[in-house]
Structure 1
């Protein structure tokens, strides 16, 4: 097969590689970017001719008109998390004058290939991926093949070829576990998230790092999936242990709410008989009794920053190192009424104060 025959499926990445420039530079040349040097522009045009590359004319016209279409792809089992996420992208899109096209998968799974190809056919210029889709190989492969810039929100592990906006999950989980230790808890139950998501393992790692600093402390782990239903079965498993934990740390607020429900069903007082803490600080944390002590993950801000950085990348003549980077936002430990010291604390048990971070 000749190079010309192969070129019929050429992508913007192929053009960028042949011309020795970035994909963003190729995009700027296609859209008559004035800030591209003449020598660079000629190299890109030569690569386009050699590869017989045909850019999306609809997308080009939209950029020239100043309108940017952004795909927002999501599939998260937590309605509270997704509510905050969507509010964040909607508010940013409104202020930035961008048009959003939403695509939803089911039950934490990526949308179908057909749905994603329809999104590409709508002439989107970039895509924001809500968790857990930043770790979906199928979705990411399709978007990479289309040479679209991608912003990943709350991915457990930053991607080198995307805009990443997240918190330090390990440090946040470590801080919460230390908080429980400082209250006097030594037998702590931990409900993990979906095993397919990196954030689940990272949060468990943070909690274990804190527990390891106290010789007599113990972490009992039960598998969850970031859903309320999974939190119910995990909490039952933890409270059936002999002896049961005096505190349960759930990897998100939905599962923490489930743990509170199980405690109430067993006639356990929260926090008198059982301390329960969560992660995210979604609306769930303040709509149950008692309100949850939790890790505040600024979901709305993360979504807004992701869209802002994506739009900046699309509108810049030359992408900077800062544009495609790993943006780690601040988290916070929010104390409410779901935590208390255990009823029976060994007076000799002390937290190792020499280490204040993971």
Structure 2
């Protein structure tokens, strides 16, 4: 065990905190500094002696599911851009991992072994998994972005998916739409919150949500047949809420095949339409809630810095509102 790690374990802080103390960094709380100095005195270690051992890596880890092809403009890239800017301001570098294909646990272990001092993670797994426990044992602070994991011992920065759904639904309901369909995945926290918002808004207006109007996707689900049946029905919906912008392309193909037009035959609302690939005529077309990806990344890094200053701080959950953009994909029935 290195002397730096000995001091960290005795003081009950991370190795990075010990390094900051001996290098007179301001990113340390007075209480943490006292603990480190007391541990050094107990072990009879001096600052210069510790400086000759492994010091701070000045490196943060960022693990996101960028996909098989990392697109120049995506939610993940915006999170990365915001995180990198904030890290650079504080002379830190970002080590990036693409968790596509179930690599989240392996990447986390690898980054811990490379000495990252904090980790930012957009996770698709349950809250209590082996790699999250590894972070806890290592004393490395974790900030979860976008997805909320119940039971995870971590700070969180995410958009307000429930409130965003309420805004989109209020817009449709205020325009006279009462028969509104839902097209959504049903796996991750973000989508579940958007589904809750859809159902709550309907009930708030006195219209009980009907399962006949909900097309919820499971993994590898062939949902297009169900969606086509819904649009062919005698009481076709006048509007549809698409919770995931990745589903817009399939919806557009189906509507074109059936010679249905937006918004004349069907009004459409969604989340984060600016992050999906669509024909040029659909640019700035969809009424949507857009989330501040860069701000999410920046605040995630800021939470890591605050954690280092105050290691005993309670876990923080930062929930950011999205921006409603009313565009040409909806029309009034009034």
Q: 1:106 aligns with which of 93, 100, 104?
A: 100
Q: CA deviation at 1:48?
A: 8.7
The aligned counterpart of 1:294 is: 288
Is 1:252 equivalent to 2:244 in the alignment?
A: yes
The aligned counterpart of 1:86 is: 80
Please report the TM-score for the alignment, with normalisation by the length of structure 1: 0.72
- Distance in 1, Cα, partners of 2:79 & 2:190: 17
Retained in 1: the 8 A contact 2:65–2:100? yes
- CA displacement 1:12-32 (0-9 Å, x = unmatched): 8xx87x87x6x46x7534653
Please report the TM-score for the alignment, with normalisation by the length of structure 2: 0.77
Q: CA deviation at 1:71?
A: 0.6
Q: CA deviation at 1:293?
A: 0.8
Q: 2:65 aligns with which of 59, 68, 75?
A: 75
Retained in 2: the 8 A contact 1:222–1:237? no
Retained in 1: the 8 A contact 2:16–2:55? no
Q: 2:262 aligns with which of 265, 270, 273?
A: 270
Greater relative contact order, per chain length (Cα 8 Å cut-off, separation 6+): 2
Structure 1: state its 5+ residue gaps: 1-7, 50-54, 346-358
The aligned counterpart of 2:158 is: 166
Q: CA deviation at 1:163?
A: 1.9
- CA displacement 1:112-163 (0-9 Å, x = unmatched): 43x3322112111010112536857344233223221011111235767322
Retained in 2: the 8 A contact 1:250–1:279? yes
The aligned counterpart of 1:332 is: 323
For 2:116, what is the secondary structure of its paired residue?
coil
Q: CA deviation at 1:62?
A: 2.2
Q: CA deviation at 1:225?
A: 6.5
For 2:56, what is the secondary structure of its paired residue?
helix
Q: 2:119 aligns with which of 122, 127, 142?
A: 127
Structure 2: state its 5+ residue gaps: 25-29, 45-49
- Distance in 2, Cα, partners of 1:247 & 1:37: 56
Q: CA deviation at 1:164?
A: 1.1
- Distance in 1, Cα, partners of 2:245 & 2:151: 26
Retained in 2: the 8 A contact 1:223–1:234? no
For 1:222, what is the secondary structure of its paired residue?
strand
Retained in 2: the 8 A contact 1:296–1:334? yes
Correspondence list, 1:199-238, <5 A: 199-216=190-207, 218-219=209-210, 220-224=213-217, 235-236=227-228, 238=230
Distance 1:88-1:121 versus aligned 2 partners, 3 A rule? same
The aligned counterpart of 2:108 is: 116
Q: CA deviation at 1:326?
A: 1.3
The aligned counterpart of 1:3 is: none
Q: Which one is further off, 119-128 or 239-248? A: 239-248
Paired residues in the alignment total: 312
